[in-house]
Amino acid sequence: MRAFQVSAFDTPPTLADIDKPQPKAGEVLIDIAACGLNFADLLMANGTYQATPEPPFTLGMEVCGTVTAHGKGVKEPAIGTRVAVFGGHGGMAEQGCFPAMLCRPVPDDMPSDVAAGFMVAYGTSHLALTRRANLQAGETLLVLGAAGGVGLTAVEIGKAMGAKVIAVARGADKLAVAKKAGADHLIDSDSQDIKTEVKKLGGADVVYDPVGGDAFKAALGACNREARVITIGFASGDVPQIPANIILVKNITVIGFYWGGYLMFNPPALTESLGELMTWYGEGRLKPHISHKIPLDQAAEALDLMRTRKSTGKVVVTP
């Protein structure tokens, strides 16, 4: 079968022909219909992600597909069930083996490309804003990188939770996407000063930051007293150093959040979160945005769309 593999961290990933996998005990074999890409795939390709396996391995953290075989001891999900699963890697391929306990049946009305890009982005924003930041209706949520894979879902979920949402993105086209997702106010980071503009709007009670760098510093300066700042990632490539004097004077809380980490110490938190999100989707409260659907033989181009920030929402690869 075909798989988009990392053979070494100092060479680009390539499409390779490899043996079809066989499910081990506790696993299911899935015919993959779609794989959602994440910024973490870029980090994993060069060996800098916190949960990178040793090469060779297949990229692709989250997939949707149909269960075609069971490993030893597996009875559910039944063969023929369409499921979504976060496997950490292995998704940019025609088939893959994943833990049965992590597979979640997909509603009939949810297309496979939507399901494949749903878990990480929506799961990250939902759990971060509910469990970690305790966002309340009427508060002001500032979302950095608001047109990206996770940022756009933070706009949508924050609005669904009753917050006033300020979206920060680069350029009019990306801001238009954030506006469509429910943002109340828009800031163009290419031409406007984030700190100044947020202060004009009354400051931020919660900051959602997948960007880091100068954007983090600007947002911190625009925080209200007792604000909560959630660090989601560092797409800018700059991990900011936090000035303790500012968080002390304003009683600001800086919160770390790593969605995949819950697989290791509290999987039910992910399951419950995704269950609520699936309900919201079924009720029409969430409108996932996929800017690009790319065939597997163009997987390198799909990664480049994220690397060059030419995508909005999700990029999905389809075998």
Architecture of domain 2-118+288-318: Alpha-Beta Complex (3.90)
Q: Cis peptide leading into 56, omega within 30 of 0?
A: yes
Residues 81 and 26 sit within 8 Å (Cβ to Cβ) = no
Residue 145 has a pLDDT of 95
Closest by CA to 316, choosing from 287, 276, 278, 288, is 288
Instruction: Answer positive or negative: Cα dihedral of 186, 190, 194, 196.
Output: negative
pTM: 0.86
Instruction: Give the fold, CATH level 3, of 120-260.
Output: Rossmann fold (3.40.50)
Domain limits, the chain: 2-118+288-318, 120-260
Residue 267 has a pLDDT of 83
Residue 65 has a pLDDT of 97
CA distance 146 to 150: 8
Other C-beta atoms lying within 10 Å of the C-beta of residue 257: 21
Task: List, run by run, the mean pLDDT of 10-residue segments along the chain (319 residues).
Answer: 93 94 96 94 89 92 96 94 93 96 89 93 95 97 94 95 96 94 96 97 97 95 97 89 92 94 86 88 90 94 91 91
Residues 94 and 32 sit within 8 Å (Cβ to Cβ) = yes
Beta bridge partners of 6: 57
The tokens for 316 are 């999905």
Residue 235 has a pLDDT of 86
Give the chain's radius of gyration (CA, Å): 19
Where do we find the tokens 């916190």?
Answer: 50
Residue 159 has a pLDDT of 95
Three-class DSSP category at 299: helix
User: What residue spans of 239-307 are helical by DSSP H?
Assistant: 244-249, 262-265, 267-282, 299-307
Beta strands in 92-247 (DSSP E): 95-99, 104-105, 140-143, 164-169, 185-188, 204-209, 223-231
